[in-house]
Structure 1
């Protein structure tokens, strides 16, 4: 259906105790089509044994066509879950849940413990589906501007009316509370990228809280969690993070309301084993201190302000977010409508706090100090962990194989050939509903913007229904930044809004940002030129938002952030120590070196040099998206725009006053030659402690406005759906794979893939398939639908006009691309496959991330990392 629809989202989520099947589209006919397919797939699936072999697990000859090759485990979900548990953080979070709720459904892995998956039978799966995936056990959620009644009628006719009500007996019981706290320990694989091999331990204390269907109690505990652990002003940040006992909070931290009874966790990762008792004592003492001292009123107001911002902010996945927000509580018979009445919860919270100033402290005492259902879980690396996991899988396989008779082996071989044959056939999708290319709107809606200036700074203003929020961006070009500073830019972006500003230290700064804004961030940008290959703009993007009333405060914070250290750093030589780090070559290794440094003063001086270089008003452009004050009052609109422009002028004026700049015109684009980079063939293997691979191959093609860009976009989508999906996922067993076109590159990819060089071969066969022209007009039309679903995906009011602001792509350029997409023909696709992909494979870039690979080691053409 991805290729027969204009869907903007289509997937399925497996939580610990429910499965959600969400989809979205902006087309009414498409919504009916997708609803029909989803109802059929969820309630009336075929669940063929062959599907179970493919998607679940199977025993199969390593080479399906050679009955003498060894038997191995295969299966998409089997490989997926092996990939999941290659991540130590995911492993820890899973153990924590299993051990905190040991007496029912949360004690097992909902997605499947890899070595338990081969114990599942096809018959068990069908029986489980019949009782659990039944309308009697289902809830339906719709969001949008289409009438509700037709949805209900379709659901009734196509699903509900065809079942008799049953009792699925799926209610999750409450976890029996412990009478005394417990401790446990687990092991994991060592982290090859850890700055200090001796500090790879994790410790976390987790508390069982109340039932999530108590809406107000859940709201209170969630807010209390934020007060305890969020930001540098929180008690646990001060006691656990600032002493640098560990590298960060434990991967499971804060309030978790995804299970029937919520939990709260706090701890550290990246710590030494000898600090275990110390961390336990700190956690206990911090809880005592909170009960004694409570929280500052300003911090509580900052969090309530954050909730106000979240209620007003509009995202493109708002409906999906709402569905996810209510899903857990509703699944346990909570009231979903009550959950959405957030303003009522805020009002009640204020009232409770007014009537009892110790309201929050009493909650801390009850849920944390006096709570005996408390788990302390530690995790440490075991050098033999991966070897033990491999041995356990081998032993599981040996036991499965040893009892097989000759006829069993023959049956496995024949089933493997059957599956291979089925995978090689083109599926008949004619029964599925589909939109036509003619259903696609021929033109895009225009996004009007006003272009002006604030002093010498260009400003783009876009009026949008933003619910009274103002969204601000400033782009500062990096194209004139000296080469020796560029490696530090990502670090600069990470810390610049967290180091204090003006008269505020970093704690006060964080408090003011929460009180006055919806967040302030700085990020790196590399923007390819839309008309020319090998040309791009490097920059940093300042992003923030605030309520209309707080606009001057937000700009005061930005001004203070960039003026804080100017007088101190003007005469510093930040080059000391920088050259050695620069020559380390890799960004990852660079950050590892920084993390290991005992004296960071050379780095801080370098960051100050970057700030002076970047914050040049002559090198800056700004954009704002906001709600007009009065849509019908032109004078009011002009006044509002002027007010914003005045804020920008003050902001840039303060920067000018603090720094002296070389007044030079920034380059609009930077070429690859100017940064000493020449496209060339390269094959790189990154050996990482994974059990599966991540594979990619990229080929240099054309920029966005080129005539062939549209054809390459359609080709990438068609190759994914009609060739690569079958080769990489269905035959190869990877969790996913395909091709995409963007930023002048045609890229192939696969992830959670049991294969490596075999997948590269599949990429090459995909190119041969495309060059041969073995695809139909129906295939092309479906690919166009899929591409247009991305091209026409909704854009939030906060992001309207951002394509023009960041990369210079105007509505006229987008419309030209749209017309070229409509015009793509069979001849165009074969032509670009031959000219770009066929020739390009001789100079492509290839990368594989994965476990040790003997075949690659023996090939001298690979660069090992």
Structure 2
């Protein structure tokens, strides 16, 4: 039955409905009469259903109360009494997304599932969590998730601990994070956005239990909520459920959530801030500059879109004029922009990395003179057209693999609705793009520069400078503060802190009761497909080249991926091939200079990317395939142009522009350093693997610590070696771009294959057909057991080995073990008790198994937890319901919905690694049939992991040196 506007359905008044052609959806607005809650429904045929509830949460200080509550409300509720309902549903649902997030002025709780029963269960758990959390009865939750005084015995020193406390210690170790936060602090000083909703480390410890409860009472009410429902779900059933189970019990309430913004600045404010580097690091090339401007109201969608595009025009493309002007002056290694339209007032930022304090005025001068020149003489229209085409392609493709599409649309709705705007204005982009295209024929972007940057005094200039051992000084101050605090305590005050810690530990150590666990809703294993989802494909032979053909409904988009043989690269050339993947497509060719090439690609394609990838075969732990991969996408009519550009790039690139090579290599190093600082767990995982596996040694050479050392040495000696470097990059290209063992993957509509076949034939005819001998790499594998010192307050702790090396087999049971480890053993011991932000077990079919922790305050304690997992599985026990949960949680990670592009990637990876349908079906059955005994039988393997003792740590210098006996090598990673 069609819903009628104005009618009331289960307490919700149906207020409006609009067609949103851009995303093939109907946008509906409902208002719950009694409670004041607003519900937005995007109705469409997407089976990946999304639910969220969002509250406008306005911080009053830097204690991170909104962030701590985001963690804490998911730790038990009225109906779901277990300590961690969030984890229990991670273990035991078919969710495709499950998370919570704190923003500057809102807190969001989203879930997604393709299974209707599961979707309704997830919605129930989340609604109960936000409206009826157990925090009112259990202060230990705030202690655990926020912060507490940690002490076990009266004679011990007191320390701070807590998940959010340690998370933010890690977050504020990064100079980019410090710069970003400082720009907002200065721009919005005295207002909401000048505060850290995530919490500043020094202020988190000022948050009291009562203040946390009061914040929840104020903001977590239906009158302050926006509920969101997306996908192919009966909205009337959802409305009935939400009303009958939750909203009917609330009365409408007036909640003050007005955001006050102070008067604009009358001149550009400047500020200098320090960040910590370790004793062994050089201060040279370690200064960061950021200039940021408040540019308007987020509800002015046209201007916001214009500024978003302007940031890409000026700073993101190879031909971007502001980026070129700064890089060519050699005053920094990397420059980029950020346009932020996630809050009420939009901001436009220009950031220069790896510079020096003496270059500050030159940076300002270049920005000013370049922008003035662009205003006076105009921006290249071809660049503008290319950026516009790329943006429109991305909007129409709507490909979001790690994120459900419905969640992306949810965020776009909130970015207008939260501030009183039309909920759907950010989803309707057709007329917006059309208008901006028309304006761009005149001086639209030039006028934006003039108004919002050159003539805008509402801005700041922040300098973030390195200082040796600043972190150690701060830690010393904290320890001294806590020492004085302990000395000031009366006997009964110290006893209370000790008792509070006992209560917290008791809660953490006490298993959930059978009755409480039964409260978590669970779908049946019978609801799960026994066979993996099949992706239609076939393997064809075209002119001696294997083609992986995926006929899919791609809405006119063509996906072409070309896999070139990587084993034609000599040993010593491997890192140069990795550099090639960053250089190619960004340098001159015989037909185009690199700026024109960039514009041509953006104008005609949806993207063309290059990478050196490794595909490991599951049959043998040391059998792997390096492939140099070219990934491209375009609209059907642009397919000939795509092949033309690809052929031009791979056959006619010019590698002798030494200045351009140096720019790109500097950028590679700069971004790799940022990745090491921000993603230490992935770097440590690869490094541990490189001790025991040739495949991971190869990965380390092309992306990890070995590659970082190699790049650092190249930069140090670039002037002496530039001809040799250019020649070796060119030689690596000559080794790679050959017809030998060429594989091409293609995803498009069925009727498109004929044209593709003809174009592919022409492309192949232009590829080098000479054969090269394949190299059998013989890497020296050595257990190095390293600790890499960084100026950080936390650690990334890894331990691993290759179990196939010791004749243990991969199986579906190991994949279930990973779920158990991640959401039970490691979660409880490393995160909940240890206070780390995260910990995980990763596993690959070729035998690589590694435990890693993320933003971890501990080191040896975490290794001990890794070593004792064998005892955990030896004593593991679970009833049939609990085993079903672990199995369901495992399957949910496997059955994630994929975009068309990712479907083709998955099929290609399986082809290259020799994984067939029978293999996948066998593995899935092993997961579905996994038993307690199967988990117990992993004891010998995990015990071997403990004895092998392959470890790697990135972390705090003092912490590492206090535990130096654990390591064979201690290295300052960023030393010059």
Tell me if TM exceeds 0.5: yes
Cα displacement string for residues 613-671 of structure 1 (whole angstroms, at most 9, x for unaligned residues): 1111013111011123xxxxxxxx2xx32321222222222122xxx62266x58xx6x
Deviation at 1:854, TM superposition (A): 3.1
* 1:360 positional shift: 2.7
Aligned pair partner of 1:856 in 960, 963, 970: 963
Asked if residue 188 in structure 1 is aligned to residue 278 in structure 2, the reply is no
Paired residue for 2:797? 695
8 Å CA contact 1:257–1:263 kept in 2: the answer is yes
Structure 1 residue corresponding to 2:486, chosen from 379, 393, 401: 401
Query: What runs of 5+ residues in structure 1 fail to find an aligned partner?
Result: 570-580, 629-636
Q: CA deviation at 1:85?
A: 0.6
Cα distance in 2, alignment partners of residues 325 and 597 from structure 1: 47
Shift in CA distance, 136/708, structure 1 to aligned 2, threshold 3 Å: same
Structure-2 residue corresponding to 1:245: 331
Query: What CA distance in whole angstroms lies between the structure 2 residues aligned with 1:397 and 1:381?
Result: 27
Q: Match for 2:253 among 155, 159, 166? A: 166
Alignment match, 1:828: 934
Kept after mapping to 2: 8 A contact 1:214/1:334: no
Counterpart of 1:827 in 2: which secondary structure? Answer: helix
SS at match of 1:530: coil
**Residue 84 of structure 1, CA deviation:** 0.6
What residue number does 2:879 align with?
Answer: 776
CA RMSD of aligned residues (A): 2.4
Q: 1:216/1:333 Cα in 2 relative to 1: closer, same or farther (>3 Å)? A: same
Matches within 5 A, 1:358-757: 358-398=443-483, 400-428=485-513, 429-565=517-653, 586-599=706-719, 600-628=722-750, 637=751, 640-656=752-768, 661-662=770-771, 674-678=777-781, 681-702=783-804, 708-743=810-845, 744-757=847-860
Partner residue of 2:945 out of 836, 840, 846: 840
Q: How far apart are the structure 1 equivalents of 2:533 and 2:968?
A: 49
| 1:23 match: secondary structure | strand
Separation in structure 1 between the aligned mates of residue 921 and residue 507 of structure 2, nearest angstrom = 41
Counterpart Cα distance in 1 of 2:332 and 2:877? 57
1:410–1:568 Cα change, 3 Å: closer
Q: Which runs of 4+ in 1 moved over 6 A?
A: 191-194, 566-569, 581-585
Pick aligned residue for 1:200 from 286, 307, 319: 286
Gaps of 5+ in 2: 1-88, 658-699
Give per-residue Cα distances to partners, 1:290-323, cap 9 Å, x unaligned: 2212222222221221122112323332122222
TM-score of the superposition, structure 1-length normalised? 0.91
Query: 1:796 — aligned with what?
Result: 899
2:9 corresponds to: none
**Contact kept? 2:655, 2:729, Cα under 8 Å:** no
Which of 104, 116, 141 is the aligned partner of 2:228? 141
Provide closer, same or farther for how the CA distance between residues 359 and 861 of structure 1 changes in structure 2, counting only shifts above 3 A.
closer
Q: Secondary structure at the match of 1:116?
A: helix
Match of 2:674 in 1: none
Q: Distance in 1 between matches of 2:195 and 2:653?
A: 53
Give me the whole-angstrom Cα distance separating, in 2, the residues matched to 1:567 and 1:60.
57
2:173–2:793 contact (8 Å) kept in structure 1: yes
- More off after superposition, 646-655 vs 611-620: 646-655
Q: Does the 8 Å contact 2:565/2:740 carry over to 1?
A: no
1:72 corresponds to 2:129: no
Q: Distance in 2 between matches of 1:585 and 1:35?
A: 43
1: CA distance between counterparts of 2:708 and 2:279? 12
Q: Does 1:263 align with 2:263?
A: no
For 1:124 and 1:541, locate their aligned partners in 2 and report how far apart those are by CA, in whole Å. 54
Question: Which SS does the other structure have where 1:655 is aligned?
Answer: coil
What is the DSSP-based 3-state SS (H/G/I as helix, E as strand, rest coil) of the residue aligned with 1:83? helix
Is 1:122 equivalent to 2:209 in the alignment?
yes
| Cα distance in 1 between the residues matched to 2:831 and 2:362 | 48
Contact persistence 1:531–1:706 (CA under 8 A): no
Q: Aligned partners of 2:369 and 2:333: how far apart in 1? A: 20
Contact 1:172 1:332 in 2 (8 A): no
Q: 1:336–1:815: structure 2 CA closer, same or farther, 3 Å change rule?
A: same
- CA shift in 2, pair 1:327/1:397, >3 Å: farther
Q: CA deviation at 1:702?
A: 4.3
1:819 correspondence with 2:907: no
**Cross-structure match for 1:291:** 375
CA contact (8 A) 1:474 1:620 kept: yes
- The Cα shift of 1:864 comes to 5.1
| Alignment partners' CA distance in 2, 1:512 and 1:860 | 51
Q: Name the counterpart of 2:412.
A: 325
Q: CA deviation at 1:585?
A: 8.6
Query: Which deviates more from structure 2 when the two are superposed, residues 394-403 or residues 511-520?
Result: 394-403
Checking the alignment, whether the CA contact within 8 Å between 1:717 and 1:740 is kept in structure 2 is no
C-alpha distance after superposition, 1:510-535 (max 9, x if no partner): 00110111111111211111222221
**Between 408-417 and 804-813, the greater mean CA deviation after superposition:** 804-813
Q: Would you say the 8 A contact 1:58–1:118 is kept in 2?
A: yes
CA shift for structure 1 position 767: 1.5
SS in 2 for 1:382: strand
Separation of aligned partners in 1, 2:206 and 2:342 = 27
Structure 2 residue 324 is matched with structure 1 residue 234: no
Q: What does residue 574 of structure 1 align with?
A: none
CA–CA distance in structure 2, aligned partners of residues 567 and 861 of structure 1: 40
Q: Secondary structure of the residue that 2:205 maps to in structure 1?
A: helix
Point out the more displaced range, 421-430 or 726-735: 421-430
For residue 170 of structure 1, give the secondary structure of its aligned residue in structure 2: coil
Change (3 A) 1:855 1:184: closer
Question: Residue by residue, what CA displacement relative to the aligned partner does 1:230-284 show, whole Å, maximum 9, x if unpaired?
Answer: 213222112112222111116xx23211221111111422112111111111111
Tell me the CA shift for residue 831 of structure 1: 1.4
| SS of corresponding position for 1:459 | strand
- Structure 2 length normalisation: TM-score? 0.81
Q: Is residue 2:239 matched to residue 1:155?
A: no
SS in 1 for 2:603: helix
CA shift for structure 1 position 850: 0.8
Alpha-carbon distance in structure 1 between the residues aligned to 2:558 and 2:273: 47
Distance 1:191 1:811, change over 3 A: farther
1:683-739 C-alpha deviation (Å, 9 max, x unpaired): 222122111111111132249x99742111111211332322111111111111132
Q: Give yes or no for the alignment of 1:350 onto 2:437.
A: yes
